[in-house]
Amino acid sequence: MTEYCGEDNLEVMNAAKKYNDFLTSLIVSACPDKSKKIVDFGAGNGLFAKALRNLGHKDVLCVEPADGLFDELRNEGFSCVRNISEVAAGSADFLYCLNVLEHIEDDKQAEREIYRCLRKGGCALVYVPAFSCLFSAMDKKVGHYRRYTRKTLLRLFEPDDWQIEQAEYADILGFGAALFFRFFGNKRGDLNRMVLLFYDRWIFPFSRMLDFLGARMFAGKNVYVRLRKNSRNMCQNEIKKIKNPDI
């Protein structure tokens, strides 16, 4: 039996419409073709798998180890497996992994599995919480092992194996909000629904505007990378690289 201790926070996050619409837009921009085979690695309660299905993406395989969430996904009609190792090698055109790698102790093994699942030229979108200085009671509650920087996330994905298409931070004002929560939030790590809704409606759109104006290259509450699978024998000088990754 596998359980997830942060299901209450997951339900609260479902109400963050603008934030979730932003994440959905990242997925769709990375995989606009509705005929592609997609893997949702760490599907949770199926929020994004459902959003994709509503947009016409029919072939979404959900990977979710937690028993209750797995059963919920099956009841919603999704194809599901409990572990990414069960996904056939080279079977996916696109894989997204939103706020999942930080839950996995051996994230390098997870990176290898993501590579294995994708066909050659397949795309992956990986989105994680940023900066260890923001590690709070919430991270402890939901079982996070770490938070990332742009540099450490890029280091995880070997340049011989991946072509980096995009790597940047998101939600610059969320950095300040998360820092405040670390020092003044409740010690249980519970999210306040009313505060979250206020932030999502009034602050997050302004934060995204600042991201667009350039803050995304320096800091944010989260960091994400979009990558494409190379062949193992691709030469080093053929790989597109991100210049001057920050700390």
pLDDT score at 247: 47
Rg over alpha carbons for the chain, rounded to the nearest Å, is: 17
**Which residues have a Cβ under 8 Å from the Cβ of 117 and sit 6 or more positions away?**
39, 84, 87, 88, 89, 90, 91, 92, 95
Percent of the chain with pLDDT over 90: 87
Spell out the residues 6+ positions from residue 35 whose beta carbon is closer than 8 angstroms to its own: 59
* Alpha carbon 193 to chain centroid, angstroms: 21
Position 36 confidence tier, pLDDT thresholds 50, 70, 90: very high
Report the C-alpha gap between 159 and 162 in whole angstroms: 5
Is the pLDDT reported for residue 241 higher than 60? no
Confidence check: pLDDT of 234 > 90: no
In the prediction, which pLDDT does 9 show?
A: 85
Q: Token digits for 150?
A: 């742009």
Average pLDDT over residues 140-157: 96
Indicate yes or no: pTM above 0.75: yes
